Amino acid sequence: MTKKIDALEYHASGRKGKIEVVSSKPCLTSLDLSLAYTPGVAEPCLAIEQRPSDAYLYTAKGNLVAVVSNGTAVLGLGNIGALAGKPVMEGKGVLFKRFADVDVFDLEVKSEDPDDVIKVVQLLEPTFGGINLEDIKAPECFYIEEELKKTMNIPVFHDDQHGTAIICSAALINALQLVGKRIEQARIVVNGAGAAGVACANLAISLGANPENLCMCDTKGVIYKGRSEGMNPYKERLALDTDLRTLEEAMRGADVFIGVSAKGAVTPQMVREMAKDPIIMAMANPDPEITPEEALSVRSDVIMATGRSDYPNQVNNVLGFPFIFRGALDVRASTINEEMKKAAVFALAQLAQEECPDSVCRAYGNESFSFGRNYIIPKPFDPRALLRVAPAVARAAMKSGVARTPIEDMDRYVEWLETLQGRAKETMRAIINKAKCDPKKIVFPEGDNEKILKAAYHLVEEGIAKPILIGNRNKVLEKMSELGMELNVTIVDPEDSELTEAYAQELYRLRQRKGITLSEAQRIVRRKSRNHFGSMMVHMGDADALLGGIDTHYPDTIRPALEVIGRQPQLSGVHGMYMMVFKKGIYFMADTTVEIEPTAEELAETALLAAEKVQLLDIVPRIAMLSFANFGSVNHALTQKVKRAVEIVKERAPELEIDGEMQADTAVTPELLANYTFSTLTGPANILIFPDLNSGNICYKLLHRLGGAEAIGPLLMGMKKPVHVLQRGDDVATIVNMAAIAVVDAQSM
Output the CA–CA distances (angstroms, integers) from residue 402 to 328, 332, 393, 410, 528, in the order listed: 9, 8, 11, 17, 64
CA atoms within 13 A on the CB side of 188: 34
Of 328, 304, 242, 254, nearest in space to 63 by CA: 328
Output the CA–CA distances (angstroms, integers) from residue 625 to 591, 621, 651, 665, in the order listed: 11, 13, 15, 12
Of 395, 408, 402, nearest in space to 155 by CA: 402
The answer to whether 582 and 707 have CB atoms below 8 angstroms apart is yes
Rounded distance between C-alpha atoms, residue 84 and residue 614, angstroms: 52
The answer to whether 709 and 703 have CB atoms below 8 angstroms apart is yes
Phi, psi of 626 (to 5 degrees): -85, 150
H-helix segments, 483-565: 500-511, 518-523, 530-539, 554-564
Among 37, 276, 399, 475, which one carries the catalytic annotation?
A: 37
Question: CB atoms < 10 A from the CB of 583, how many?
Answer: 10
Give 416-423's long-range contacts (Cβ < 8 A, gap of 24+).
417/326, 417/386, 417/387, 417/390, 417/391, 418/387, 420/100, 420/101, 420/386, 421/383, 421/386, 422/581, 422/583, 422/710, 423/581, 423/582, 423/583, 423/584, 423/585, 423/586
In one letter, which amino acid is 742? A
Q: Let me know if 92 is a catalytic residue.
A: yes
Taking the alpha carbons of 325, 330, 335, 336 in that order, is the dihedral positive or negative? Answer: negative
The angle subtended at Cα 270 by Cα 264 and Cα 274, nearest 5°, is 135
For 658-692, what is the HEC assignment?
Answer: EEEEECHHHHHCHHHHCCCCCCCCCCCCCEEECCC
H/E element holding 215? strand 214-218
Among 18, 58, 61, 92, which one carries the catalytic annotation?
A: 92
Residues marked as catalytic? 37, 92
